[in-house]
Amino acid sequence: MAVVVFRSKVSGEVIMMRNHVEPVFKEAGIIFHERGAFLAQDLPSIIASLEQVIESIAQSEVPEDEDEAKEKPAMLASVAIKTRFYALLKLLRKASDKGVNVHWEPLT
Domain boundaries, the chain: 3-61+73-106
> 12-36: per-residue pLDDT in tens?
899 999 999 999 999 999 999 999 9
For residues 18-48, one letter each, b for 16 or more C-beta atoms within 10 angstroms of the residue's C-beta and e for the rest, the string is beebbebbeebebeeeeeeebebeebeebbe
Q: Where are the alpha helices (DSSP H) in 1-108?
A: 18-27, 43-60, 66-71, 81-98
In tens, the pLDDT along 66-79 reads: 666 667 666 666 78
Orientation of helix 43-60 relative to helix 81-98, angle to 10°: 170
Taking the model in full, what pTM does it have? 0.86
What are the tens digits of pLDDT across the range 38-53?
Answer: 999 999 999 999 999 9
